[in-house]
Structure 1
Amino acid sequence: MAETEITLPANPLALEHQVCFALAVAARTVIALYRPVLEPMGLTHPQYLVMLALWEHEPVSVKELSGLLQLEPATLSPLLKRLEAAGLLERNRSATDERSLAVALTPAGRKLREQALEVPPAIVERLGMDVDELMDIQARLTKVIAAATR
């Protein structure tokens, strides 16, 4: 297999040429757009991600949820505790495996999904970008994540 030649910019250490910088700033600024949209729902952005996973996959074990969200269980646990305290989910020992915690939505957690349906259009509007363009960015970022986690 032939080696691919890598062409670097004139100053490869320039801040504006760093993928990590662009990703970090994009993540911070886009997540900040979510804050005012999620506040009326009583959710932070990380809690919103947990709820998205549960609306799609519940009931699910903490281990499975950790994998879906690509979060360590130690990071996920406080999020689950706060969502449980808010009455949006329940954590119970699995009937088949005492070591496993099953996470399921409460009726209030399921009902919150109706309000959450307003979040994606609000974010698209705040970004002022075309949905196809955003979906292309999402696909490219998914490719970056896959390449970085090989």
Structure 2
Amino acid sequence: MNTFTKAGLVAIALVFAQSATSVAFAATTNLPSLHQQGAVTYLSGGVGSDQSDALKDVMHQYPLVLEFTGATRQGNEYLADIPVHIADMNGKTLLNATSHGPFMLASLPNGRYTITASHDGKTQQRVVDVKSSGHVRAMFVWPTQPEGSTS
């Protein structure tokens, strides 16, 4: 292989490497802000397809993934502004926050937790076992009233 061909291949490889880095950086710039509450690091959001896609790309990095939706006749719709409370089995609060979109990703120590979430005056609970070797996903689905319904 001549010197020109080697140099050309190196240049092409560098362009591809830079493109991959740019795509990864673009995905992380669409992430919502990271928050800390005691020992818990979390982020929430997912309103808009760019942010939703960015969150889905990093879900595997968090031991706990929460998803909030409202059930309609047409399917599920994402919900935001969901109050979330996470407590250990002794009742000690680890997180008391509001999810600013349909996804909340949290890093918690290994353990068993009760998660409470509310929407439209209705509260739901889930009990999860968090382990560092994987991640747990808990879905909260609330029935929603069709627009114009009074019941």
TM exceeds 0.5?
no
TM, length-normalised to structure 1: 0.29
When Rg is computed on C-alpha atoms for both structures, the one with the higher figure is: 2
Q: Greater relative contact order (Cα 8 A, min sep 6): structure 1 or 2?
A: 2
* Higher helix proportion (structure 1 or 2): 1
TM normalised by structure 2 equals 0.29
